[in-house]
Amino acid sequence: MNYWKFKKFIQKHLIAVIAGGAAVIIAVIALIALTGGPATGELLSRNAAIETPSVSYQTAAVASTEPSAGMSPEPSPDVTASGPSAAPSVSPEPSASASPSPKPSEKPKEPKKTTKKPKAKAPDIDKLVAAFEVKSKDYYNDKSYSSNHYEYTSKELKMLAIIIYREARNQPYSCQVAVGNVVMNRVLSPGYPGSTIEAVVTRKNQFAWKASVTPNSECYRVARDILDYEVWTVPQNTYFFRANKSKSDWGSHEYYKHLGNTAFYQANYSGRYRGDTVPPALFKRTYRWPQYGCKPATRVKKIQKMLKGLGYKVSTDGYFGIDTEKALMKFQKSRGLKADGVAGQSTLKALIRKYSVEKYMKL
């Protein structure tokens, strides 16, 4: 058989040989599994594995030279062995285990009910207004003090300072104030002649008035304390004084007390407080409701802020002065209320509502 015939023979019968070898291997493995014979690994270790022949050939480099046919066996498919002497392990049948009873399906969670928050109740305006009221029995007005307020001019300020300078420039502060109080008690009393500083101090034989005198700064300061801050050191019915050591009455004038070397006397003129107590100064007074001259406090500042927010010109310093009084009176007129400058219940309710409760709560 020449080379070309042999090549055709190999190609024709190669597939049959491989299939036959594979069938033999499968049969041997099946037989071993059934009879419990030696493990595949052991057979392989004893060189008992059946090798499937494979044919390799070389193409001649020169056409006249016949190639030598050689058969190099191809290794059989690798069969994994568990060990040289290990028998094939037969996996035990799985023991029947009780199938877990199905857990009862959890009930689907109901969505949380979103409860709407109840709207906050509007503040009780009566309670808001009540916060402005001072709960005290010792009100400035309870003693029925008369007003000490006076709208003065720069000329009148100087005239009052001249009287203080001429009558008490070397006396203690309390005495200098008392001299100015006597002048103002006469000015503010409807029953005493004269209703202005000029009319009272220039009245004949009453005070040591001299227009050419220039008062010092101390006397100016005392005059401002009396007119701007309404400082009083004697009662509102004190109308006379003189430099005298005697503590007895002076004719029909009732002796009150000495301040420095000056004695002060009281008299009963109509339209002025007649008690023996001294009224507190401006911004030291206790009023039931906020009004001119009351003690500086948060309640006053809130009123000022509301007035300013409504367009009124007013400072927010907590002092209920003239500017605050005028602004409040304008507001009262605009709302048809009594324009007395007192922030009472009706005025406060109208003011808070006009400003708005919501904005007021943020003050």
Would residue 53 be called left, alpha or beta, if left means φ above 0 and alpha means ψ between -120 and 50 degrees?
A: beta
What's the confidence (pLDDT) of residue 98? 52
The correct answer on CATH 1.10.760.10 for the domain covering 127-137+285-360 is: no
Beta-bridge partners for 250: 253
Asked if 268 contacts 192 with a C-beta cutoff of 8 angstroms, the reply is no
| Dist. CA 242–CA 178, nearest whole Å | 11
Two structure tokens written together for 127: 């309670």
Question: Which CATH number describes the domain made up of 144-266?
Answer: 1.10.10.2520
| Dist. CA 66–CA 6, nearest whole Å | 12
Q: Where in the chain is the domain with CATH 1.10.101.10?
A: 127-137+285-360
What's the confidence (pLDDT) of residue 142? 84
Alpha helix stretches (DSSP H) within 169-258: 173-188, 197-201, 217-229
| Residue 285 phi, psi dihedral angles, 5° rounding | -95, 145
pLDDT tens-digit profile of 162-215? 999 999 999 999 999 999 999 999 999 999 999 999 999 999 999 999 999 999
What's the confidence (pLDDT) of residue 359? 96
Two structure tokens written together for 203: 């009245």
What's the confidence (pLDDT) of residue 19? 63
| Dist. CA 253–CA 262, nearest whole Å | 15
| Dist. CA 81–CA 84, nearest whole Å | 7
Asked if 24 contacts 65 with a C-beta cutoff of 8 angstroms, the reply is no
pLDDT tens over the chain, length 363 residues: 555 566 666 666 666 656 666 666 776 676 666 655 544 444 444 444 444 444 443 443 334 444 444 444 444 444 444 444 444 454 555 555 555 555 656 666 666 666 677 666 778 999 999 999 999 888 988 888 999 999 999 999 999 999 999 999 999 999 999 999 999 999 999 999 999 999 999 999 999 999 999 999 999 999 999 999 999 999 999 999 999 999 999 999 999 999 999 999 999 999 999 999 999 999 999 999 999 999 999 999 999 999 999 999 999 999 999 999 999 999 999 999 999 999 999 999 999 999 999 999 999
Two structure tokens written together for 157: 């300020």
Q: What size, in residues, is the chain? A: 363
What's the confidence (pLDDT) of residue 6? 61
Query: Cα–Cα–Cα angle for 98, 104, 108, nearest 5°?
Result: 155
Cite the beta strand spans of the chain per DSSP E: 238-243, 254-259, 262-266
Q: Where in the chain is the domain with CATH 1.10.10.2520?
A: 144-266
| Residue 60 phi, psi dihedral angles, 5° rounding | -65, 140
Two structure tokens written together for 336: 């048809």
